């Protein structure tokens, strides 16, 4: 796990860095709000530890900026300000937790672990995977595969397969597909639906023993095992 620590007191920053690295975390240090902003924008972090009273850009403003770009990354405020107003301001700007200086290092580690565990569960829930047998579609990475074989699809083929995967075991008429995937009324004089279904079938079925995309004569198409 990679953490960003934004703390202007060098002695505190180095002590926390050493302690957290002994716990198995990789730590990047920033000593002011501007440097913290740069590192956040250039790197991927699992959690941010953020002092409030920072030079160049204070912790509240940096927290607010981070939240405009990333809703999920956990943020812990580290501060000597222990007033309720200060805490509420931090939470309003998007902080997940708030720990007042001086604090016990083991308490900080416990809070980091708890937030990382929660964030990991949220992230997993955010990634939607559509599946049928060994066919998988990752809606975040936009990757499609059957088993260990990755399948390259055009944008329209991807949309067509997504519609089939959201309607497994359901016969889909050409009119339904035209409306839902192409957003047009079906024209009986065109064979665009059949053409694209054939494109898709060649990519997801042709090289595999188990066929998933089937024609229902006179009705349309169905994706099933």
The pLDDT tens digits of the residues spanning 72-118 come to 888 998 887 666 666 676 677 788 888 888 888 998 999 898 888 88
Residues of the chain within CATH 3.40.50.2300 domain(s) are: 2-126
What would the pLDDT profile of 148-160 be if each residue is shown by its tens digit?
999 999 888 999 9
Measure the CA dihedral 9/15/20/22, to 10°: 160
What are 193-208's pLDDT values in tens digits?
899 999 999 999 999 9
Homologous superfamily assigned to 2-126: Response regulator (3.40.50.2300)
Indicate the pTM of the whole model: 0.54
- Give the span between the Cα atoms of 58 and 27, in whole angstroms: 20
What six digits make up the tokens of 144?
A: 């499609």
Supply the DSSP symbol for 178. Answer: I
With contact defined as beta carbons under 8 Å apart, do 50 and 6 qualify? yes
Q: Which two tokens stand for residue 104?
A: 């016990």
For 3-49, the DSSP string reads EEEE-S-HHHHHHHHHHHHHTT-EEEEESSHHHHHHHHHHS--SEEE
Say if residues 47 and 27 touch (Cβ distance below 8 Å). Answer: no
CATH topology of domain 129-223: Arc Repressor Mutant, subunit A (1.10.10)
How many other CB atoms are found less than 10 A from the CB of residue 192? 15
From residue 170, alpha-carbon distances to 20, 132, 164, 177 in Å are: 53, 13, 8, 12
- N- to C-terminal Cα separation, the chain: 40
Euclidean distance between CA atoms 112 and 21, whole angstroms: 13
Phi–psi pair at 6, nearest 5 degrees: -110, 105
How far lies 18's CA from each of 5, 11, 133, 188, in Å? 12, 11, 47, 70
Beta bridge partners of 131: 136
At residue 50, does pLDDT exceed 60? yes
Exposure letters 7-38 (e unless 16+ CB within 10 A, then b)? bbeeeebeebbeebeeeebebbbbbbbebbbe
pLDDT over threshold 70, residue 136: yes
Lowest mean pLDDT among 65-74, 119-128, 175-184: 119-128
The predicted structure's pLDDT at residue 85: 67
- What does the pLDDT read at residue 122? 56
- The CATH 1.10.10.10 portion of the chain extends over 129-223
């Amino acid at each position: 796990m990679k953490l960003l620590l934004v703390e202007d007191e060098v002695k505190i920053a180095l002590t926390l860095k050493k302690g957290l690295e002994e716990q198995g975390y990789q730590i990047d240090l920033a000593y002011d709000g501007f440097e913290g902003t740069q590192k956040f924008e250039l790197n991927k972090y699992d959690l941010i530890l953020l002092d409030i009273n920072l030079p160049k850009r204070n912790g509240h403003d940096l927290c607010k900026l981070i939240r405009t770009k990333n809703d999920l990354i956990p943020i812990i405020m580290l501060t000597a300000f222990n007033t309720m107003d200060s805490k509420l301001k931090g939470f309003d700007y998007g902080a997940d937790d708030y720990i007042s200086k001086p604090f016990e290092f083991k308490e900080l580690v416990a809070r980091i672990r708890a937030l990382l565990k929660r964030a990991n569960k949220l992230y997993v829930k955010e990634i939607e995977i559509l599946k049928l047998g060994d066919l998988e579609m990752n809606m975040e990475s936009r990757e499609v595969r059957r088993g260990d074989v990755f399948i390259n699809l055009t944008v329209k083929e991807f949309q067509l397969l997504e519609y089939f995967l959201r309607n497994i075991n359901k016969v889909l008429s050409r009119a339904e597909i035209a409306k839902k995937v192409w957003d047009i009324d079906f024209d009986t004089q065109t064979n665009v639906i059949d053409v694209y279904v054939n494109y898709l079938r060649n990519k997801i079925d042709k090289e595999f023993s188990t066929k998933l995309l089937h024609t229902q004569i006179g009705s349309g198409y169905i994706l099933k095992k």
